Structure 1
Amino acid sequence: MIKTNLNHPAGLRPSARVVAGPWPNYTNCRNLPERDRWEIYSLAKAGRMALEDRGIVMDEAYDQFIKRVCTELDL
């Protein structure tokens, strides 16, 4: 779900959009070889960066995102 940020919290551009989820779940990749799981991890980070570069703001903090993806991928 993408919603327009009407309150413009500090640090956000007025045109920023906040993504409230749902987030992709990576647990189905947990049984892949470790090398493949690291590849999925890199793709997840690149995907998030691409969204942020377009002005999308996630309501899941970056540290929480990294922790969640690492847990789901068993890294």
Structure 2
Amino acid sequence: MSILNPHAPPQDARTAPIIVGPWPTYAHFKNLPERERWVMYSGAKAHREMLEQAGFVMSENYDDFVRRVTRELNV
């Protein structure tokens, strides 16, 4: 089942589209106030979750994603 199309059949991880990058960068937001940087971080996580729920597989594992985004946002 897809979050975008609840009637779509679930995809097998072996045949799911794989997103390999380039990954969006959040470094240009590092000078925002801390609250706004946390909002950007939450948005990045929500966007990734939406893509995964839609059946996409990321080549960047979740822990690497979190490390990269928190480093880029300086949070």
Short-chain TM bin? 0.7 to 0.9
Q: Deviation string for 1:7-66 (max 9, x for gaps)?
A: xxxxx5344111010100000000000000000000000000000001000000000000
CA distance in 2 between counterparts of 1:17 and 1:60 reads 13
Q: Which has the higher contact order (CA 8 A, sep 6+)?
A: 2
Please list every run of 5 or more consecutive structure 2 residues that lacks an aligned counterpart in the other structure: 1-11
TM-score (norm 2): 0.81
TM-score (norm 1): 0.81
CA distance in 1 between counterparts of 2:30 and 2:13 reads 36
Higher strand proportion: 1
Q: Per the alignment, in what secondary structure is the counterpart of residue 44 of structure 2?
A: helix
Aligned CA-pair RMSD: 1.0
CA distance in 1 between counterparts of 2:14 and 2:69 reads 29
Superposition misfits of 4+ residues, deviation over 3 angstroms: none
Please list every run of 5 or more consecutive structure 1 residues that lacks an aligned counterpart in the other structure: 1-11
Matched residue pairs, number? 64
